[in-house]
Structure 1
Amino acid sequence: MAQILAPSTQWQMRITKTSPCATPITSKMWSSLVVKQSKKVARSAKFRVMAVNSEYGTINRVEDLLNLDITPFTDSIIAEYIWIGGTGIDVRSKSRTISKPVSHPSELPKWNYDGSSTGQAPGEDSEVILYPQAIFKDPFRGGNNILVVCDAYTPAGEPIPTNKRHKAAEIFSNPKVVAEIPWYGIEQEYTLLQTNVKWPLGWPVGGYPGPQGPYYCAAGADKSFGRDISDAHYKACIYAGINISGTNGEVMPGQWEYQVGPSVGIEAGDHIWASRYILERITEQAGVVLSLDPKPIEGDWNGAGCHTNYSTKSMREDGGFEVIKKAILNLSLRHKVHIEAYGEGNERRLTGKHETASIDNFSWGVANRGCSIRVGRDTEKNGKGYLEDRRPASNMDPYVVTALLAESTLLWEPTLEAEALAAQKLALKV
């Protein structure tokens, strides 16, 4: 990803008033993506909706209501509460009316949901409580409506097992971590699949496109598949207030990447989860399946990762390269701990091929994308900067990864003997 120089003030997790000229996303953006449409499906110039009868104006009425701006008529807003489901990677949401616009999650009420239906609670005691943690403008409904990222607790106030945000927040509130102002730039890769066959977008059904090479950052109908989705997602994230910093087509056709950051502390996880939710909604409207599988196609095809760029205040200051090397030493000693937390199915991706390091061996290098940790040429030249952890899979939990990086490099201390042996093995002088 392009080097990110400074964090946004968005990390305070507040939102600004919606611009009066801002409009929500409508389905007309996806018209170029729909390959086949039944002749029985009624159409309008702006919006396509499945309807039993169009002759009575069903579609036009639905379109009018979907695009209706309620702001001039009421102080009430719609809040879409978002949380992580039982698999640890699925996002769930439901809506509620709030009596007036809000600017901070503390102004929102807690809510609950049926945890037995998401694999997060037994049927005989199924209530799970949602705590609002971060808010974003809603690019789908527009107006003053909002998306609310929540974490989940038992009625007694204990975080449920799939609530990884709670522990991350504890780590990021540690005074040592706060003092170092950790920055993160996360590169989220994903794959777009055709709905019925679950085969990458643009690929011939049951077949393969030409070998990798022409597709990375490419343009053209025979090389780029799903650009409308990527661009719509980019704009939707900017509208929402997500700290998205770029996007590009990836090495495998039908695969894309976007970058979020630099983000400070817990903000990184909040923004990635909000951006994933928006991407799920956009692919839903486009009739395309979103996959975060780290190796969606076996064979000579790149997998999908979530490379995480990381720096602390000490790394960004003069002499920071020595601090980076000390952090790399710590990461080498906790390699197995990190790998276990870096995403399910990652062993299929981290093979030592396709710009990855082997899952079994820790390595680092300058400008080497085949290492566990990559350090940029500018960082080496300037003697300060950031490191890139290339091990996280595309389906990793950003709360887990960001907190673990801070914990391993700022709070965890190896023994002197282990440190010396690791430094010798990695040829580090710290």
Structure 2
Amino acid sequence: MAQILAPTTQWHMRLNKSSTNANPMTAKMWGSLLLKQNKKGVSKSSSKFRVYALQSENSTINRLEGLLNLDITPFTDKIIAEYIWIGGSGIDVRSKSRTIPKPVEHPSELPKWNYDGSSTGQAPGEDSEVILYPQAIFKDPFRGGNNILVICDTYTPQGEPIPTNKRHRAAEIFSNQKVIDEVPWFGIEQEYTLLQTNVKWPLGWPAGGYPGPQGPYYCGAGADKSFGRDVSDAHYKACLYAGINISGTNGEVMPGQWEYQVGPSVGIEAGDHIWASRYILERITEQAGVVLSLDPKPIEGDWNGAGCHTNFSTKSMREDGGYEVIKKAILNLSLRHKDHISAYGEGNERRLTGKHETASINTFSWGVANRGCSIRVGRETEKKGKGYLEDRRPASNMDPYVVTSLLAETTMLWEPTLEAEALAAQKLALNV
């Protein structure tokens, strides 16, 4: 925890009025102190230093922090917009800032922009320009004021979506009138692991060693069970400030692993909110001096992996008689199991082993209250005869645009042949 609470060594002197020995430290004396520390080799350390300057007899101010916290709204109508997009790996988030003349309320008020796609693995060097289209706006919890975070998708100068732009296809599916009429809801459970910066080993774990077996860590409290709560809590509040529909958070089964939930969100909004929340989490871990990992199985062996369970329902599922609609959706999902698995995240085969609350990646299954199935249906849904289903297959590094739109497409737009449907129904009956 100390690494989170105090990620950098702070040079901080407080003067006490009641102390007869307290003398004001001049700028010259301060510089001399830092020089002496540097001569001792402190500058070679990996620690970072925050230099404090004296403000008054009994208080100090960090000059850099003061500038970072400046409220510019009384002095200008201009705002800072942080344009955010997904990089060439399909999981990395990139961003850069620009000044906008005045506050905006809708992404259509923002200009398109461009970046060097050859530096993100998204374009060749001889034709490297990629165009950013603003799509969603969130309040900026880091800069405050009227400043904003802008979720963008990516296009060629000719207006064609580049291959890593998964939002474009998702928007097409969610704009289908049949899908719109069903008002698809998504609740996404994003799991992640916090790693120590120098050794890339989970936070709270002894370097090169292992903590005690899983059991006490899930939703646990205490210095020997909970590692990284400050990051989780800071992220929670930052998301609420930003306007992200975050609905909860908890410590996970593996120590150093956490989860937060976003939703219920409608349609394309689910993907926008997850990507914005991931960006905010990256920025917070950057400040805390820890590393964020979305690897679906960060530690091999008898340790839980990290998933991104996706809860899903349609209007028909939420109404009376919805349980039959859910079962029909599960049937369709069983027939497209391989299509979904191939789109549910890199390295997922290391996680979906049939152990640690997962189903085997090679076999589709469903059950009520069964966390070892591909699709779980809650007891309350079974009891009421309506509700939602949980797809437990997506990995922590899945693209939410892909997963949500594929769920919508498979359950609302795709129709299997009668023969395939009959065979799948038999298999599922045997499975249950």
Q: TM-score by structure 2 length?
A: 0.89
Code of the residue aligned with 2:348 in structure 1: it is N
Aligned to 1:346: 348
> Is the Cα–Cα contact under 8 Å of residues 5 and 230 in structure 2 kept in the other structure?
no
Cα deviation for residue 81 of structure 1 reads 0.2
> Is the Cα–Cα contact under 8 Å of residues 325 and 428 in structure 1 kept in the other structure?
no
Aligned to 1:284: 286
Residues 393-408 of structure 1 aligned to structure 2 (within 5 Å): 393-408=395-410
Name the Cα RMSD after superposition. 1.9
> Is the Cα–Cα contact under 8 Å of residues 292 and 394 in structure 1 kept in the other structure?
yes
Code of the residue aligned with 2:391 in structure 1: it is D
Code of the residue aligned with 1:277 in structure 2: it is Y
- Does the C-alpha gap of structure 1 residues 183 and 52 become closer, same or farther in structure 2, counting only changes over 3 Å? closer
Aligned to 1:17: none
Question: Which among 302, 305, 309 is matched to residue 304 of structure 2?
Answer: 302
Aligned to 2:393: 391
SS at match of 1:133: strand
Distance across 2 between alignment mates of 1:173 and 1:53: 53
Aligned to 1:161: 163
- Does the C-alpha gap of structure 1 residues 36 and 164 become closer, same or farther in structure 2, counting only changes over 3 Å? closer
Question: Which among 188, 199, 202 is matched to residue 200 of structure 1?
Answer: 202
Aligned to 2:112: 110
Distance across 1 between alignment mates of 2:131 and 2:3: 41
Higher relative contact order (CA 8 A, sep 6+): 1
Please say which of residues 198-207 and 50-59 is displaced more in the overlay.
50-59
Alignment partner of 1:145 is 2:113: no
Distance across 1 between alignment mates of 2:425 and 2:50: 69
Alignment partner of 1:63 is 2:69: no
Q: TM-score by structure 1 length?
A: 0.89
Cα deviation for residue 395 of structure 1 reads 0.0
Cα deviation for residue 61 of structure 1 reads 1.9
> Is the Cα–Cα contact under 8 Å of residues 67 and 141 in structure 1 kept in the other structure?
yes
Residue by residue, what CA displacement relative to the aligned partner does 1:336-381 show, whole Å, maximum 9, x if unpaired?
0000000000000000000000000000000000000000000000
Residue by residue, what CA displacement relative to the aligned partner does 1:60-106 show, whole Å, maximum 9, x if unpaired?
22111000010111100000000000000000000000000000000
Distance across 1 between alignment mates of 2:282 and 2:215: 28
SS at match of 2:62: helix
Question: Which among 232, 241, 244 is matched to residue 243 of structure 2?
Answer: 241
Code of the residue aligned with 1:132 in structure 2: it is P
Distance across 2 between alignment mates of 1:44 and 1:409: 63
Distance across 2 between alignment mates of 1:398 and 1:177: 17
> Is the Cα–Cα contact under 8 Å of residues 81 and 98 in structure 2 kept in the other structure?
yes
Residue by residue, what CA displacement relative to the aligned partner does 1:2-22 show, whole Å, maximum 9, x if unpaired?
xxxxxxxxxxxxxxxxxxxxx
Aligned identity (percent) is 86
Distance across 1 between alignment mates of 2:102 and 2:382: 51
- Does the C-alpha gap of structure 1 residues 278 and 384 become closer, same or farther in structure 2, counting only changes over 3 Å? same
Distance across 2 between alignment mates of 1:44 and 1:275: 36
Cα deviation for residue 43 of structure 1 reads 4.0
Please say which of residues 80-89 and 420-429 is displaced more in the overlay.
420-429
Question: Which among 112, 121, 124 is matched to residue 122 of structure 1?
Answer: 124
Cα deviation for residue 33 of structure 1 reads 1.5
Please say which of residues 397-406 and 50-59 is displaced more in the overlay.
50-59
Cα deviation for residue 409 of structure 1 reads 0.3
SS at match of 2:141: coil
Alignment partner of 1:177 is 2:179: yes
Aligned to 1:21: none
Cα deviation for residue 55 of structure 1 reads 5.9
Aligned to 2:42: none
- Does the C-alpha gap of structure 1 residues 72 and 42 become closer, same or farther in structure 2, counting only changes over 3 Å? same
Residue by residue, what CA displacement relative to the aligned partner does 1:151-173 show, whole Å, maximum 9, x if unpaired?
00000000000000000000000
Residues 2-401 of structure 1 aligned to structure 2 (within 5 Å): 33-34=4-5, 37-38=8-9, 42-43=11-12, 50-51=48-49, 54=52, 60-401=62-403
> Is the Cα–Cα contact under 8 Å of residues 42 and 50 in structure 1 kept in the other structure?
no
Distance across 1 between alignment mates of 2:2 and 2:61: 16
Code of the residue aligned with 2:299 in structure 1: it is I
SS at match of 1:309: strand
> Is the Cα–Cα contact under 8 Å of residues 51 and 59 in structure 1 kept in the other structure?
no
Cα deviation for residue 42 of structure 1 reads 2.8
- Does the C-alpha gap of structure 1 residues 33 and 415 become closer, same or farther in structure 2, counting only changes over 3 Å? same
SS at match of 1:71: coil
Distance across 1 between alignment mates of 2:102 and 2:13: 34
Distance across 2 between alignment mates of 1:264 and 1:91: 23
SS at match of 1:427: helix
The alignment covers a number of residue pairs equal to 395
Gap runs ≥5 in structure 2: 15-46
> Is the Cα–Cα contact under 8 Å of residues 294 and 345 in structure 1 kept in the other structure?
yes
* Runs of 4+ more than 3 Å apart: 34-38, 49-59
Distance across 1 between alignment mates of 2:364 and 2:114: 42
> Is the Cα–Cα contact under 8 Å of residues 53 and 62 in structure 2 kept in the other structure?
no
SS at match of 2:11: coil
- Does the C-alpha gap of structure 1 residues 428 and 73 become closer, same or farther in structure 2, counting only changes over 3 Å? farther
Gap runs ≥5 in structure 1: 1-29
Please say which of residues 55-64 and 235-244 is displaced more in the overlay.
55-64
> Is the Cα–Cα contact under 8 Å of residues 12 and 51 in structure 2 kept in the other structure?
no
Aligned to 2:425: 423
SS at match of 2:216: coil
Code of the residue aligned with 2:338 in structure 1: it is K
> Is the Cα–Cα contact under 8 Å of residues 52 and 63 in structure 2 kept in the other structure?
no
Distance across 1 between alignment mates of 2:245 and 2:262: 6
Residue by residue, what CA displacement relative to the aligned partner does 1:240-288 show, whole Å, maximum 9, x if unpaired?
0000000000000000000000000000000000000000000000000
